[in-house]
Structure 1
Amino acid sequence: MRIVLSADCFYPAQMGGPSNAIYWQAKALTRVGHDITIVATSQDLPPEIELDAWLTLDCGRVIYTKNPHFYLPVKQIWYGWKVIRKADVVHINSLFYPASLMWALLSRLMGKPVVWSPHGELSPEALGYGSGMKRWLLKIIKRLSSVICFHATCDAEASHIRGQFGQDVPIVSVRNMMELPTLMTPSSTSHPYLLFIGRLHPIKAIDRLLDALSTSTVFRKSNYSLRIAGPDFGRVYAQQLRQQVKKLNLTAKVLFIGSVDGVAKEQLYANAYVTILPSHSENFGNVVIESLAQGTPVIASTGAPWQLLETEQVGLWTSNDPANLRQAIETFLTMPKETYLGYRQRAIELVQRDYNIMTNVAIWEQVYERVVMRNELKK
Protein backbone atom coordinates (compact mmCIF):
# COMPACT_ATOMS: atom_id res chain seq x y z
CA MET A 1 0.00 0.00 0.00
CA ARG A 2 1.23 3.52 -0.83
CA ILE A 3 0.84 5.59 2.33
CA VAL A 4 1.67 9.31 2.46
CA LEU A 5 2.14 11.07 5.81
CA SER A 6 2.47 14.74 6.63
CA ALA A 7 4.56 15.97 9.54
CA ASP A 8 5.12 19.53 10.65
CA CYS A 9 7.98 18.25 12.85
CA PHE A 10 9.58 14.89 12.15
CA TYR A 11 12.42 12.81 13.54
CA PRO A 12 15.22 13.62 14.24
CA ALA A 13 13.41 16.83 15.26
CA GLN A 14 12.34 16.64 18.91
CA MET A 15 9.68 19.34 19.26
CA GLY A 16 7.17 16.93 20.78
CA GLY A 17 5.95 13.35 20.97
CA PRO A 18 4.52 13.22 17.41
CA SER A 19 8.00 13.77 15.93
CA ASN A 20 8.98 10.32 17.13
CA ALA A 21 5.57 8.62 17.02
CA ILE A 22 5.14 9.29 13.28
CA TYR A 23 8.69 8.06 12.64
CA TRP A 24 8.20 4.82 14.59
CA GLN A 25 4.92 4.17 12.80
CA ALA A 26 6.41 4.83 9.35
CA LYS A 27 9.43 2.64 10.12
CA ALA A 28 7.25 -0.27 11.21
CA LEU A 29 5.06 0.02 8.10
CA THR A 30 8.13 0.17 5.85
CA ARG A 31 9.55 -2.92 7.53
CA VAL A 32 6.47 -4.99 6.63
CA GLY A 33 6.57 -3.93 3.00
CA HIS A 34 4.45 -0.78 2.56
CA ASP A 35 5.52 2.13 0.35
CA ILE A 36 5.84 5.06 2.79
CA THR A 37 6.37 8.72 1.90
CA ILE A 38 6.72 11.50 4.49
CA VAL A 39 6.64 15.21 3.72
CA ALA A 40 7.96 17.20 6.69
CA THR A 41 9.28 20.68 7.44
CA SER A 42 12.78 21.68 8.51
CA GLN A 43 11.55 22.73 11.97
CA ASP A 44 14.00 21.90 14.77
CA LEU A 45 16.28 19.78 12.58
CA PRO A 46 20.02 19.42 13.16
CA PRO A 47 22.03 21.38 10.54
CA GLU A 48 23.45 18.30 8.80
CA ILE A 49 20.04 17.20 7.47
CA GLU A 50 19.70 17.88 3.74
CA LEU A 51 16.65 19.98 2.84
CA ASP A 52 14.40 19.95 -0.23
CA ALA A 53 15.77 16.58 -1.36
CA TRP A 54 14.22 13.14 -1.28
CA LEU A 55 16.02 10.93 1.22
CA THR A 56 15.65 7.16 1.48
CA LEU A 57 15.59 6.32 5.19
CA ASP A 58 14.61 3.31 7.28
CA CYS A 59 11.10 4.79 7.50
CA GLY A 60 10.59 5.27 3.76
CA ARG A 61 11.07 8.26 1.45
CA VAL A 62 11.35 11.54 3.35
CA ILE A 63 11.65 15.14 2.26
CA TYR A 64 12.35 17.93 4.75
CA THR A 65 11.01 21.09 3.13
CA LYS A 66 12.58 24.51 3.58
CA ASN A 67 9.69 26.99 3.75
CA PRO A 68 9.67 30.81 3.87
CA HIS A 69 8.37 30.50 7.45
CA PHE A 70 7.18 27.62 9.61
CA TYR A 71 3.62 28.95 9.34
CA LEU A 72 3.97 29.59 5.60
CA PRO A 73 4.64 26.00 4.45
CA VAL A 74 4.56 26.59 0.70
CA LYS A 75 6.91 23.74 -0.18
CA GLN A 76 5.25 21.27 2.14
CA ILE A 77 1.96 21.96 0.35
CA TRP A 78 3.63 21.74 -3.07
CA TYR A 79 5.32 18.39 -2.39
CA GLY A 80 2.14 17.20 -0.74
CA TRP A 81 0.21 17.84 -3.94
CA LYS A 82 2.78 15.85 -5.92
CA VAL A 83 2.73 12.76 -3.68
CA ILE A 84 -0.97 12.73 -2.78
CA ARG A 85 -1.79 12.02 -6.43
CA LYS A 86 -0.06 8.63 -6.21
CA ALA A 87 -1.20 7.68 -2.71
CA ASP A 88 -3.61 4.92 -1.70
CA VAL A 89 -4.23 6.67 1.61
CA VAL A 90 -3.16 10.01 3.11
CA HIS A 91 -2.40 10.40 6.81
CA ILE A 92 -2.38 14.02 7.99
CA ASN A 93 -0.74 14.87 11.30
CA SER A 94 -1.63 18.04 13.25
CA LEU A 95 -5.00 19.71 12.95
CA PHE A 96 -4.20 23.42 12.93
CA TYR A 97 -0.90 23.54 11.05
CA PRO A 98 -1.67 25.52 7.84
CA ALA A 99 -0.45 22.79 5.49
CA SER A 100 -2.79 20.24 7.06
CA LEU A 101 -5.95 21.93 5.81
CA MET A 102 -4.49 22.27 2.33
CA TRP A 103 -3.55 18.57 2.34
CA ALA A 104 -7.11 17.69 3.33
CA LEU A 105 -8.54 19.82 0.53
CA LEU A 106 -6.12 18.37 -2.05
CA SER A 107 -6.92 14.82 -0.92
CA ARG A 108 -10.64 15.54 -1.20
CA LEU A 109 -10.14 17.01 -4.67
CA MET A 110 -8.28 13.88 -5.80
CA GLY A 111 -10.67 11.46 -4.13
CA LYS A 112 -8.07 10.07 -1.72
CA PRO A 113 -9.04 8.56 1.65
CA VAL A 114 -7.73 10.51 4.64
CA VAL A 115 -6.78 9.67 8.22
CA TRP A 116 -6.29 12.83 10.32
CA SER A 117 -4.53 12.81 13.71
CA PRO A 118 -5.21 15.94 15.81
CA HIS A 119 -2.54 14.98 18.39
CA GLY A 120 -4.41 16.55 21.29
CA GLU A 121 -5.16 19.87 19.59
CA LEU A 122 -8.91 19.61 20.28
CA SER A 123 -8.72 19.45 24.06
CA PRO A 124 -10.37 22.46 25.77
CA GLU A 125 -6.98 23.50 27.20
CA ALA A 126 -5.23 23.36 23.82
CA LEU A 127 -8.07 25.24 22.08
CA GLY A 128 -7.54 28.11 24.51
CA TYR A 129 -4.28 29.06 22.78
CA GLY A 130 -4.83 31.09 19.58
CA SER A 131 -8.55 30.42 19.85
CA GLY A 132 -9.71 32.99 17.24
CA MET A 133 -7.87 31.43 14.31
CA LYS A 134 -8.73 27.92 15.50
CA ARG A 135 -12.48 28.65 15.51
CA TRP A 136 -12.22 29.79 11.89
CA LEU A 137 -10.29 26.69 10.85
CA LEU A 138 -12.69 24.38 12.68
CA LYS A 139 -15.58 25.70 10.61
CA ILE A 140 -13.77 24.76 7.41
CA ILE A 141 -12.65 21.36 8.69
CA LYS A 142 -16.21 20.60 9.78
CA ARG A 143 -17.31 20.83 6.13
CA LEU A 144 -14.81 18.06 5.31
CA SER A 145 -15.32 15.95 8.42
CA SER A 146 -17.79 13.48 6.89
CA VAL A 147 -15.13 12.25 4.45
CA ILE A 148 -12.28 12.21 6.99
CA CYS A 149 -11.46 9.37 9.38
CA PHE A 150 -10.08 11.01 12.53
CA HIS A 151 -7.54 9.24 14.69
CA ALA A 152 -7.89 9.41 18.47
CA THR A 153 -5.28 8.04 20.87
CA CYS A 154 -7.73 7.72 23.79
CA ASP A 155 -11.42 7.93 24.70
CA ALA A 156 -11.12 11.55 25.83
CA GLU A 157 -9.69 12.62 22.48
CA ALA A 158 -12.46 10.75 20.65
CA SER A 159 -14.96 12.70 22.75
CA HIS A 160 -13.27 16.00 21.85
CA ILE A 161 -13.42 15.10 18.15
CA ARG A 162 -17.14 14.28 18.34
CA GLY A 163 -17.75 17.49 20.29
CA GLN A 164 -16.38 19.51 17.39
CA PHE A 165 -17.55 17.53 14.36
CA GLY A 166 -20.62 15.57 15.48
CA GLN A 167 -21.43 12.21 17.00
CA ASP A 168 -21.39 10.39 13.65
CA VAL A 169 -17.95 11.54 12.48
CA PRO A 170 -15.73 8.56 11.56
CA ILE A 171 -13.10 7.91 14.27
CA VAL A 172 -10.52 5.19 14.75
CA SER A 173 -8.97 4.77 18.20
CA VAL A 174 -5.35 3.60 18.21
CA ARG A 175 -2.94 4.16 21.07
CA ASN A 176 0.50 5.57 20.32
CA MET A 177 3.26 2.99 20.22
CA MET A 178 7.03 3.10 19.96
CA GLU A 179 10.09 1.28 18.72
CA LEU A 180 11.52 -0.27 21.85
CA PRO A 181 14.86 1.31 22.79
CA THR A 182 17.90 -0.52 24.09
CA LEU A 183 17.25 -1.20 27.76
CA MET A 184 19.78 0.85 29.68
CA THR A 185 21.33 -0.15 32.99
CA PRO A 186 20.52 2.51 35.61
CA SER A 187 23.69 4.19 36.83
CA SER A 188 24.19 4.32 40.56
CA THR A 189 24.44 7.91 41.73
CA SER A 190 24.70 9.80 44.99
CA HIS A 191 22.43 12.44 43.47
CA PRO A 192 19.15 10.69 42.54
CA TYR A 193 16.55 12.74 40.72
CA LEU A 194 12.95 13.08 39.68
CA LEU A 195 12.40 13.90 36.01
CA PHE A 196 10.19 16.15 33.92
CA ILE A 197 10.82 15.88 30.19
CA GLY A 198 8.93 17.76 27.49
CA ARG A 199 8.24 21.21 26.09
CA LEU A 200 8.43 24.10 28.54
CA HIS A 201 4.88 25.26 27.79
CA PRO A 202 2.05 26.38 30.12
CA ILE A 203 -0.11 23.36 29.18
CA LYS A 204 2.54 21.13 30.81
CA ALA A 205 1.81 22.68 34.26
CA ILE A 206 5.45 22.54 35.39
CA ASP A 207 4.68 25.46 37.70
CA ARG A 208 2.32 23.21 39.65
CA LEU A 209 5.03 20.60 39.99
CA LEU A 210 7.38 23.23 41.42
CA ASP A 211 4.71 24.34 43.88
CA ALA A 212 4.20 20.72 44.94
CA LEU A 213 7.91 20.16 45.58
CA SER A 214 8.25 23.42 47.47
CA THR A 215 5.74 22.22 50.08
CA SER A 216 7.26 18.75 50.45
CA THR A 217 9.41 18.41 53.53
CA VAL A 218 10.30 14.89 52.38
CA PHE A 219 11.70 16.22 49.09
CA ARG A 220 13.48 19.22 50.63
CA LYS A 221 15.24 17.07 53.25
CA SER A 222 16.17 14.32 50.78
CA ASN A 223 19.14 14.20 48.44
CA TYR A 224 16.75 14.07 45.46
CA SER A 225 16.61 16.85 42.89
CA LEU A 226 14.28 17.60 39.98
CA ARG A 227 15.70 17.68 36.47
CA ILE A 228 13.67 19.55 33.86
CA ALA A 229 14.61 18.48 30.34
CA GLY A 230 13.16 20.06 27.23
CA PRO A 231 13.22 23.03 24.87
CA ASP A 232 12.03 26.52 25.86
CA PHE A 233 8.97 26.25 23.61
CA GLY A 234 7.39 29.25 25.35
CA ARG A 235 10.22 31.61 26.31
CA VAL A 236 8.06 33.72 28.60
CA TYR A 237 6.84 30.65 30.47
CA ALA A 238 10.36 29.21 30.69
CA GLN A 239 11.58 32.46 32.25
CA GLN A 240 8.67 32.43 34.68
CA LEU A 241 9.63 28.91 35.76
CA ARG A 242 13.20 29.96 36.50
CA GLN A 243 11.96 32.91 38.51
CA GLN A 244 9.55 30.62 40.38
CA VAL A 245 12.43 28.30 41.32
CA LYS A 246 14.29 31.22 42.88
CA LYS A 247 11.20 32.52 44.66
CA LEU A 248 10.48 29.09 46.16
CA ASN A 249 14.10 28.71 47.27
CA LEU A 250 14.56 25.58 45.14
CA THR A 251 17.65 26.70 43.22
CA ALA A 252 19.80 23.95 44.72
CA LYS A 253 17.15 21.30 44.04
CA VAL A 254 15.95 22.05 40.47
CA LEU A 255 18.10 21.84 37.34
CA PHE A 256 17.10 22.98 33.85
CA ILE A 257 19.14 20.78 31.53
CA GLY A 258 17.70 21.65 28.10
CA SER A 259 16.88 19.19 25.34
CA VAL A 260 18.31 15.68 25.64
CA ASP A 261 18.13 13.24 22.71
CA GLY A 262 19.20 9.80 21.60
CA VAL A 263 21.11 7.48 23.92
CA ALA A 264 21.56 10.30 26.45
CA LYS A 265 17.78 10.63 26.75
CA GLU A 266 17.36 6.89 27.28
CA GLN A 267 19.97 6.96 30.04
CA LEU A 268 18.28 10.01 31.55
CA TYR A 269 15.02 8.04 31.79
CA ALA A 270 16.75 4.93 33.13
CA ASN A 271 18.56 6.83 35.88
CA ALA A 272 15.49 8.78 37.01
CA TYR A 273 13.69 7.58 40.13
CA VAL A 274 10.31 8.60 38.74
CA THR A 275 9.14 10.64 35.73
CA ILE A 276 6.41 13.22 36.36
CA LEU A 277 3.89 14.44 33.77
CA PRO A 278 1.75 17.11 35.49
CA SER A 279 0.07 18.44 32.32
CA HIS A 280 -3.32 20.14 32.26
CA SER A 281 -4.09 18.11 29.13
CA GLU A 282 -2.47 15.33 27.07
CA ASN A 283 -4.08 13.28 24.32
CA PHE A 284 -1.51 10.58 25.06
CA GLY A 285 1.86 11.60 26.51
CA ASN A 286 4.66 9.74 24.74
CA VAL A 287 7.01 10.43 27.64
CA VAL A 288 4.99 7.93 29.66
CA ILE A 289 5.81 4.94 27.45
CA GLU A 290 9.36 6.21 26.88
CA SER A 291 9.93 6.30 30.63
CA LEU A 292 8.24 2.97 31.32
CA ALA A 293 10.32 1.38 28.54
CA GLN A 294 13.40 2.08 30.66
CA GLY A 295 11.72 0.74 33.79
CA THR A 296 11.11 4.14 35.37
CA PRO A 297 7.66 4.55 36.98
CA VAL A 298 5.53 7.56 36.08
CA ILE A 299 3.33 9.97 37.98
CA ALA A 300 0.83 11.41 35.46
CA SER A 301 -1.95 13.91 35.97
CA THR A 302 -5.57 13.04 35.33
CA GLY A 303 -5.29 15.45 32.39
CA ALA A 304 -3.49 12.58 30.63
CA PRO A 305 -5.25 9.29 29.74
CA TRP A 306 -3.11 7.14 32.01
CA GLN A 307 -5.33 5.49 34.63
CA LEU A 308 -3.52 2.38 33.40
CA LEU A 309 -0.54 3.43 35.51
CA GLU A 310 -2.45 2.41 38.62
CA THR A 311 -4.30 -0.63 37.25
CA GLU A 312 -0.98 -2.07 36.02
CA GLN A 313 0.92 -0.83 39.11
CA VAL A 314 3.57 1.01 37.12
CA GLY A 315 2.92 4.50 38.47
CA LEU A 316 0.33 6.86 39.93
CA TRP A 317 -2.51 8.85 38.30
CA THR A 318 -3.52 11.97 40.21
CA SER A 319 -4.94 15.44 39.76
CA ASN A 320 -2.30 18.07 39.11
CA ASP A 321 -3.10 20.37 42.01
CA PRO A 322 0.09 20.80 44.09
CA ALA A 323 -1.24 18.97 47.16
CA ASN A 324 -2.06 15.79 45.25
CA LEU A 325 1.14 15.93 43.24
CA ARG A 326 3.13 16.29 46.47
CA GLN A 327 1.37 13.28 47.98
CA ALA A 328 2.08 11.13 44.91
CA ILE A 329 5.74 12.15 44.85
CA GLU A 330 6.15 11.41 48.56
CA THR A 331 4.54 8.00 48.05
CA PHE A 332 7.47 7.08 45.81
CA LEU A 333 10.13 8.81 47.90
CA THR A 334 9.09 6.81 50.97
CA MET A 335 8.37 3.53 49.18
CA PRO A 336 10.19 0.35 50.33
CA LYS A 337 12.93 -0.67 47.89
CA GLU A 338 11.38 -4.06 47.05
CA THR A 339 8.02 -2.43 46.25
CA TYR A 340 9.73 0.14 44.04
CA LEU A 341 11.69 -2.52 42.12
CA GLY A 342 8.38 -4.27 41.40
CA TYR A 343 7.14 -1.06 39.74
CA ARG A 344 10.24 -0.98 37.54
CA GLN A 345 9.91 -4.58 36.39
CA ARG A 346 6.20 -4.29 35.60
CA ALA A 347 6.85 -1.10 33.63
CA ILE A 348 9.26 -2.84 31.27
CA GLU A 349 6.92 -5.81 30.79
CA LEU A 350 3.91 -3.58 30.03
CA VAL A 351 5.64 -1.61 27.26
CA GLN A 352 7.17 -4.69 25.67
CA ARG A 353 3.74 -6.35 25.56
CA ASP A 354 1.36 -3.55 24.55
CA TYR A 355 3.34 -0.60 23.14
CA ASN A 356 5.86 -2.13 20.75
CA ILE A 357 4.95 -0.77 17.30
CA MET A 358 7.06 -3.41 15.56
CA THR A 359 4.91 -6.26 16.89
CA ASN A 360 1.62 -4.36 16.75
CA VAL A 361 1.90 -2.68 13.33
CA ALA A 362 -0.99 -4.80 12.00
CA ILE A 363 -3.31 -2.48 13.94
CA TRP A 364 -2.39 0.37 11.59
CA GLU A 365 -2.47 -1.84 8.52
CA GLN A 366 -6.08 -2.76 9.33
CA VAL A 367 -6.99 0.91 9.86
CA TYR A 368 -5.68 1.93 6.45
CA GLU A 369 -7.36 -1.03 4.73
CA ARG A 370 -10.74 -0.11 6.26
CA VAL A 371 -10.36 3.56 5.31
CA VAL A 372 -9.48 2.66 1.71
CA MET A 373 -12.43 0.24 1.48
CA ARG A 374 -14.83 2.84 2.90
CA ASN A 375 -13.62 5.38 0.35
CA GLU A 376 -14.12 2.89 -2.51
CA LEU A 377 -17.68 2.14 -1.38
CA LYS A 378 -18.51 5.87 -1.41
CA LYS A 379 -17.40 6.32 -5.02
Structure 2
Amino acid sequence: YRDMGFSNPVAVIPNPVRIPEYLADIRRPGHEGFRAGFLGRLHPIKNLEALITAWGQLRLPNAELLLIGDGAPEYKARLEELVRAESISNISFTGFVSGRRKYEMLASLDVLCAPSHQENFGMSIAEALLAGTPVIASRGTPWEALNTRRCGWWCGNDSPSLAAALENAFSLSPQERLAMGERGRALVMETCAAPHAADCMKRLYRYLLGQEAKPEFVYE
Protein backbone atom coordinates (compact mmCIF):
# COMPACT_ATOMS: atom_id res chain seq x y z
CA TYR A 1 0.00 0.00 0.00
CA ARG A 2 2.83 2.38 0.88
CA ASP A 3 4.70 1.39 -2.27
CA MET A 4 1.71 2.72 -4.25
CA GLY A 5 2.37 6.18 -2.81
CA PHE A 6 -0.34 6.42 -0.14
CA SER A 7 0.77 8.03 3.13
CA ASN A 8 -2.49 8.30 5.10
CA PRO A 9 -3.03 6.39 8.37
CA VAL A 10 -4.19 2.80 7.93
CA ALA A 11 -6.26 0.74 10.35
CA VAL A 12 -5.67 -3.02 10.12
CA ILE A 13 -8.59 -4.97 11.58
CA PRO A 14 -8.86 -8.74 11.13
CA ASN A 15 -11.68 -10.43 9.27
CA PRO A 16 -14.28 -11.28 11.95
CA VAL A 17 -14.66 -15.00 12.61
CA ARG A 18 -18.04 -16.07 13.98
CA ILE A 19 -17.89 -18.46 16.92
CA PRO A 20 -20.55 -21.15 16.31
CA GLU A 21 -22.84 -21.73 19.26
CA TYR A 22 -22.27 -25.49 18.89
CA LEU A 23 -18.47 -25.26 18.93
CA ALA A 24 -18.18 -26.40 22.56
CA ASP A 25 -20.20 -29.52 21.72
CA ILE A 26 -17.82 -30.67 19.00
CA ARG A 27 -15.24 -33.07 20.37
CA ARG A 28 -12.06 -34.10 18.64
CA PRO A 29 -12.67 -37.77 17.78
CA GLY A 30 -9.99 -40.29 18.53
CA HIS A 31 -8.89 -42.21 15.47
CA GLU A 32 -6.03 -44.41 14.50
CA GLY A 33 -3.50 -43.12 12.03
CA PHE A 34 -2.88 -39.60 10.75
CA ARG A 35 -5.39 -37.43 8.92
CA ALA A 36 -4.47 -34.26 7.03
CA GLY A 37 -6.89 -32.13 5.09
CA PHE A 38 -7.57 -29.12 2.89
CA LEU A 39 -10.75 -27.03 3.11
CA GLY A 40 -11.78 -24.56 0.44
CA ARG A 41 -12.53 -23.98 -3.20
CA LEU A 42 -10.78 -26.30 -5.62
CA HIS A 43 -9.00 -23.68 -7.72
CA PRO A 44 -5.47 -23.24 -9.15
CA ILE A 45 -4.67 -20.41 -6.70
CA LYS A 46 -4.99 -22.94 -3.86
CA ASN A 47 -1.90 -24.78 -5.17
CA LEU A 48 -3.36 -28.23 -4.56
CA GLU A 49 -1.07 -29.83 -7.13
CA ALA A 50 1.92 -29.13 -4.85
CA LEU A 51 0.07 -30.56 -1.86
CA ILE A 52 -0.88 -33.73 -3.72
CA THR A 53 2.69 -34.18 -4.98
CA ALA A 54 4.11 -33.63 -1.47
CA TRP A 55 1.66 -36.14 -0.02
CA GLY A 56 2.53 -38.71 -2.65
CA GLN A 57 6.25 -38.31 -2.01
CA LEU A 58 5.90 -39.01 1.72
CA ARG A 59 3.95 -42.29 1.56
CA LEU A 60 3.10 -41.93 5.24
CA PRO A 61 1.88 -45.17 6.84
CA ASN A 62 -1.72 -45.39 8.04
CA ALA A 63 -2.47 -41.85 6.85
CA GLU A 64 -5.08 -40.12 4.70
CA LEU A 65 -5.53 -36.73 3.04
CA LEU A 66 -9.02 -35.26 2.69
CA LEU A 67 -9.65 -32.58 0.06
CA ILE A 68 -12.79 -30.88 1.37
CA GLY A 69 -14.55 -28.58 -1.06
CA ASP A 70 -15.64 -28.29 -4.66
CA GLY A 71 -14.77 -26.34 -7.76
CA ALA A 72 -14.93 -26.31 -11.53
CA PRO A 73 -15.45 -29.89 -12.79
CA GLU A 74 -12.55 -29.66 -15.25
CA TYR A 75 -10.12 -28.57 -12.54
CA LYS A 76 -11.28 -31.23 -10.12
CA ALA A 77 -10.80 -33.78 -12.91
CA ARG A 78 -7.20 -32.55 -13.35
CA LEU A 79 -6.53 -33.08 -9.66
CA GLU A 80 -8.07 -36.55 -9.73
CA GLU A 81 -5.90 -37.41 -12.74
CA LEU A 82 -2.80 -36.23 -10.85
CA VAL A 83 -3.72 -38.50 -7.93
CA ARG A 84 -4.01 -41.44 -10.35
CA ALA A 85 -0.79 -40.54 -12.15
CA GLU A 86 1.09 -40.43 -8.83
CA SER A 87 -0.50 -43.77 -7.81
CA ILE A 88 -1.77 -42.32 -4.53
CA SER A 89 -4.51 -44.35 -2.89
CA ASN A 90 -5.05 -42.44 0.36
CA ILE A 91 -6.48 -39.15 -0.94
CA SER A 92 -10.25 -38.56 -0.81
CA PHE A 93 -12.36 -35.82 -2.42
CA THR A 94 -15.21 -35.25 0.04
CA GLY A 95 -17.17 -32.52 -1.76
CA PHE A 96 -18.59 -29.33 -0.27
CA VAL A 97 -19.49 -29.19 3.44
CA SER A 98 -20.78 -26.36 5.63
CA GLY A 99 -22.12 -25.54 9.07
CA ARG A 100 -21.64 -27.97 11.90
CA ARG A 101 -20.48 -30.74 9.56
CA LYS A 102 -17.60 -28.50 8.41
CA TYR A 103 -16.39 -27.98 11.97
CA GLU A 104 -16.76 -31.68 12.75
CA MET A 105 -14.55 -32.51 9.78
CA LEU A 106 -12.00 -29.85 10.76
CA ALA A 107 -11.89 -31.24 14.29
CA SER A 108 -11.28 -34.73 12.87
CA LEU A 109 -8.04 -33.61 11.20
CA ASP A 110 -4.60 -33.84 12.75
CA VAL A 111 -3.50 -30.92 10.58
CA LEU A 112 -5.09 -28.61 7.98
CA CYS A 113 -3.03 -27.67 4.91
CA ALA A 114 -3.46 -24.26 3.25
CA PRO A 115 -0.82 -24.19 0.48
CA SER A 116 -2.34 -21.26 -1.46
CA HIS A 117 -0.25 -19.02 -3.66
CA GLN A 118 -2.05 -16.04 -2.09
CA GLU A 119 -4.77 -15.38 0.50
CA ASN A 120 -5.90 -12.02 1.87
CA PHE A 121 -6.94 -13.74 5.10
CA GLY A 122 -7.66 -17.46 4.80
CA MET A 123 -10.94 -18.11 6.61
CA SER A 124 -10.43 -21.88 6.62
CA ILE A 125 -7.19 -21.37 8.59
CA ALA A 126 -9.02 -19.47 11.32
CA GLU A 127 -11.85 -22.02 11.34
CA ALA A 128 -9.43 -24.94 11.67
CA LEU A 129 -7.63 -23.26 14.56
CA LEU A 130 -10.99 -22.56 16.17
CA ALA A 131 -11.74 -26.29 15.90
CA GLY A 132 -8.46 -27.02 17.71
CA THR A 133 -6.58 -28.24 14.63
CA PRO A 134 -2.97 -27.16 13.87
CA VAL A 135 -2.40 -25.63 10.44
CA ILE A 136 0.27 -25.73 7.74
CA ALA A 137 -0.08 -22.47 5.78
CA SER A 138 1.99 -20.99 2.99
CA ARG A 139 3.81 -17.69 3.22
CA GLY A 140 1.27 -16.46 0.68
CA THR A 141 -1.11 -16.20 3.64
CA PRO A 142 -0.87 -13.62 6.47
CA TRP A 143 -0.44 -16.25 9.18
CA GLU A 144 3.12 -15.89 10.48
CA ALA A 145 1.52 -16.24 13.93
CA LEU A 146 1.35 -19.99 13.30
CA ASN A 147 5.08 -20.02 13.97
CA THR A 148 5.26 -17.34 16.66
CA ARG A 149 2.33 -18.78 18.62
CA ARG A 150 3.44 -22.40 18.03
CA CYS A 151 0.13 -23.58 16.61
CA GLY A 152 1.29 -24.68 13.17
CA TRP A 153 3.77 -24.14 10.36
CA TRP A 154 4.09 -21.02 8.19
CA CYS A 155 6.30 -22.19 5.34
CA GLY A 156 6.97 -22.26 1.62
CA ASN A 157 4.32 -23.76 -0.63
CA ASP A 158 6.58 -25.81 -2.89
CA SER A 159 6.24 -29.59 -2.59
CA PRO A 160 9.47 -30.14 -0.58
CA SER A 161 8.49 -27.48 2.00
CA LEU A 162 4.97 -28.87 2.33
CA ALA A 163 6.31 -32.41 2.63
CA ALA A 164 8.72 -31.35 5.39
CA ALA A 165 5.92 -29.67 7.36
CA LEU A 166 3.62 -32.66 6.93
CA GLU A 167 6.37 -35.01 8.06
CA ASN A 168 6.94 -32.78 11.09
CA ALA A 169 3.23 -32.85 11.97
CA PHE A 170 3.15 -36.63 11.49
CA SER A 171 6.09 -37.10 13.87
CA LEU A 172 4.35 -35.32 16.76
CA SER A 173 2.44 -37.20 19.41
CA PRO A 174 -1.35 -36.73 19.62
CA GLN A 175 -0.79 -34.83 22.86
CA GLU A 176 1.63 -32.42 21.17
CA ARG A 177 -0.82 -31.79 18.31
CA LEU A 178 -3.62 -31.24 20.84
CA ALA A 179 -1.53 -28.63 22.66
CA MET A 180 -0.82 -26.87 19.34
CA GLY A 181 -4.54 -26.86 18.60
CA GLU A 182 -5.35 -25.30 21.95
CA ARG A 183 -2.81 -22.55 21.33
CA GLY A 184 -4.35 -21.98 17.90
CA ARG A 185 -7.84 -21.66 19.33
CA ALA A 186 -6.57 -19.10 21.84
CA LEU A 187 -4.94 -17.14 19.00
CA VAL A 188 -8.22 -16.88 17.06
CA MET A 189 -10.25 -15.97 20.15
CA GLU A 190 -7.77 -13.19 20.98
CA THR A 191 -7.31 -11.73 17.50
CA CYS A 192 -10.07 -12.72 15.05
CA ALA A 193 -13.27 -13.55 16.95
CA ALA A 194 -16.18 -11.37 15.82
CA PRO A 195 -16.51 -9.56 19.20
CA HIS A 196 -12.82 -8.59 19.00
CA ALA A 197 -13.20 -7.20 15.46
CA ALA A 198 -16.33 -5.30 16.50
CA ASP A 199 -14.50 -3.78 19.46
CA CYS A 200 -11.67 -2.69 17.13
CA MET A 201 -14.21 -0.93 14.88
CA LYS A 202 -15.72 0.89 17.87
CA ARG A 203 -12.29 1.94 19.09
CA LEU A 204 -11.41 3.20 15.59
CA TYR A 205 -14.49 5.42 15.41
CA ARG A 206 -13.94 6.75 18.92
CA TYR A 207 -10.38 7.63 17.84
CA LEU A 208 -11.65 9.42 14.73
CA LEU A 209 -14.08 11.38 16.93
CA GLY A 210 -11.25 12.40 19.23
CA GLN A 211 -12.65 10.38 22.13
CA GLU A 212 -9.78 7.86 22.42
CA ALA A 213 -6.04 7.65 21.88
CA LYS A 214 -4.78 6.13 18.65
CA PRO A 215 -5.29 2.34 18.77
CA GLU A 216 -2.29 0.07 18.31
CA PHE A 217 -3.74 -1.24 15.01
CA VAL A 218 -3.64 2.20 13.34
CA TYR A 219 -0.40 2.68 11.41
CA GLU A 220 0.96 6.08 10.31
- What is the TM-score with the length of structure 1 in the denominator? 0.51
Counting aligned pairs with the same residue, the percent is 29
Correspondence list, 1:146-165, <5 A: 159=1, 162-163=2-3
CA contact (8 A) 2:151 2:181 kept: yes
Please point out which of 116, 127, 140 is paired with 1:303.
140
1:1-379 matches, cutoff 5 A: 159=1, 162-163=2-3, 166-168=5-7, 171-181=10-20, 182-183=23-24, 184-190=26-32, 192-217=34-59, 219=60, 222-232=61-71, 234-250=72-88, 252-367=89-204
CA displacement at 1:188 relative to structure 2: 2.2
Residue-by-residue CA offset, 1:257-276 (whole Å, 9 max, x unaligned) = 11100110010011111000
Following superposition, the deviation at residue 309 of structure 1 comes to 0.2
Deviation at 1:314, TM superposition (A): 0.3
Residue 340 and residue 169 in structure 1: after superposition, are their counterparts in 2 closer, same or farther (change >3 A)? same
Deviation per residue, 1:147-199 (Å, 9 max, x gap):
xxxxxxxxxxxx3xx45x53236643111121222131012234642110001
Return the alpha-carbon distance in structure 2 between the equivalents of residues 267 and 338 of structure 1: 19
* Cα distance, 1:372–1:166 mapped onto 2, change above 3 Å: farther
Q: Secondary structure at the match of 2:37?
A: strand
What is the CA–CA distance in structure 1 between the aligned matches of 2:193 and 2:172, rounded to whole Å?
29
Amino acid paired to 2:55: L
Letter aligned with residue 179 of structure 1 = R
For the residue of structure 1 that corresponds to 2:133, the secondary structure is coil
Q: Structure 1: any 5+ residue segments left out of the alignment?
A: 1-158, 374-379
Kindly indicate whether the alpha-carbon contact (under 8 Å) linking 2:132 and 2:182 is maintained by their aligned counterparts in 1: yes
User: Larger radius of gyration, structure 1 or 2?
Assistant: 1
**Post-superposition offset of 1:366:** 3.7
- Distance, in Å, in 1 between the alignment partners of 2:205 and 2:15 is 16
Q: Distance in 1 between matches of 2:54 and 2:46?
A: 14
Query: Which has the higher relative contact order, 1 or 2, with Cα contacts under 8 A spaced 6 or more apart?
Result: 2
Amino acid at match of 2:119: E
Report the counterpart of residue 128 of structure 1 in structure 2.
none
Superposition RMSD in Å = 2.0
Q: Mind listing any 5+ residue stretches in structure 2 that lack a counterpart?
A: 211-220
